[in-house]
Amino acid sequence: MAGAAHLVLAQGVVHLDPEPATFEAMLEGWARQQRARFLDYESTIRPRLSAVKRLAEFSNLYPWQWHPQEVEAFIEFLRSRRPNFAVSTARNYQNAIRMFCDYITDERYEWPGICRDRFGRPPMQILHEWNSITHTSEYEGSPGRRPLSYDEVQQLFDAADARVEAIRRRGRKGALAALRDAMMIKTVYAYGLRRQEACGLDLVDMRRNSRAPDYGRFGGVFVRFGKSSKGGPPKRRTVLTVPEMDWVVEVLQQYWEEVRPGFSPGKHPALWVTERRGRISLRRLNDAFSTASQAADLPRELDLHSLRHSYVTHLIEFGYPERFVQDQVGHAYASTTAIYTGVSADYRNRLLERVLKERHGDLWEEPA
């Protein structure tokens, strides 16, 4: 089996320090086991290894010496260091440590026998139902994270555009990059994109829609780097340009014809390129939103992903069926789309008024 002890431990070698050598072999074996499941190293395996290493460093003990009190003290330490320590983050730590303990306590991977022979004790599972976080709610994020209102979206766009004009008036460099940043933010909202999806777009991903020929090459975007699940490849989908967001066609047309050539990208395939002729990074996209958000004086809790929440909410308010919205944003389950939705009180009141009119007809009168 991938990750078995005999595949990562040097045979016939006597280590001067067997404890750290065995621990490193455990980590390498666990990494191999996860790579065999086609899990991504940077986004999945590395953070899990880091969580286990942090517990070992905190406890100053090796895995075969761990008891439940070590992980309990570790989580409490993390909470004391970070007052805003999120429940979801704590669960990620616990899940990583639990899976590591499952791996090293599984006889098929030989670690229990090796630890008994070398150190006189086998490892144990240190997380159980009494010291693990229970998943009781669909959404456990910060209450401050929410969809932007229509006015807030407009404030964000105005602030991003104003930054371009301010740089131009001062005669400083960076106006072209600021204009690109403003257009990126608008595109993220107009198609409800995740960060990786937006940064991964290439020129060839701009798609025509035969049912909307007026939009030209911007009838939709072909997302090739959607969020993967359970070690699978990135999910793909086509996001159609909706009439309520068709202003993005003019934005993308200007970027395509005037702004992007200003970066001299040559044959680089990326849609969004940098001053150094490379693909835009996730961090740069985040910074673009943060700069515009601060200039617009929006609440700090709102982030780039809030634009995706806004897209879902606004499509629902525009009257699109939930299934259409679910397909547009690439959610496997309608319940996930529901979590993203935060319709306004005005929308609910309009919906209520429509139902009342349909039910009571002329007997119902609109409030003064």
Name the average pLDDT for the chain. Answer: 89
List the domains of the chain with CATH numbers.
5-119 (1.10.150), 150-342 (1.10.443.10)
Q: What is the largest CA-CA distance in the chain?
A: 91
Nearest Cα neighbor of 223 from 235, 214, 210 is: 235
Lowest mean pLDDT among 95-104, 273-282, 354-363: 354-363
Entry pTM:
0.73
pLDDT at 8: 83
- What was the pLDDT predicted at 177? 96
Confidence band of 344 (pLDDT split at 50, 70, 90): low
Q: What is the pLDDT of residues 29-82, one digit of tens each?
A: 999 999 998 888 888 999 999 999 999 999 999 999 999 999 999 999 999 988
Side chain identity at residue 38, one-letter code: F
Enclosing H/E stretch for 240: strand 235-240
Q: What is the pLDDT of residue 229?
A: 75
Between CA 363 and CA 360 the distance in angstroms is 6
Q: Using one digit for the tens of pLDDT, what is the confidence trace for 291-342?
A: 999 999 999 989 999 999 999 999 998 989 889 999 999 988 776 677 666 6
Tell me the C-alpha distance between 347 and 345, whole Å.
5
Residue corresponding to tokens 């999945």: 44
pLDDT exceeds cutoff 70 at 203: yes
When pLDDT is cut at 50, 70 and 90, the band that residue 162 belongs to is very high
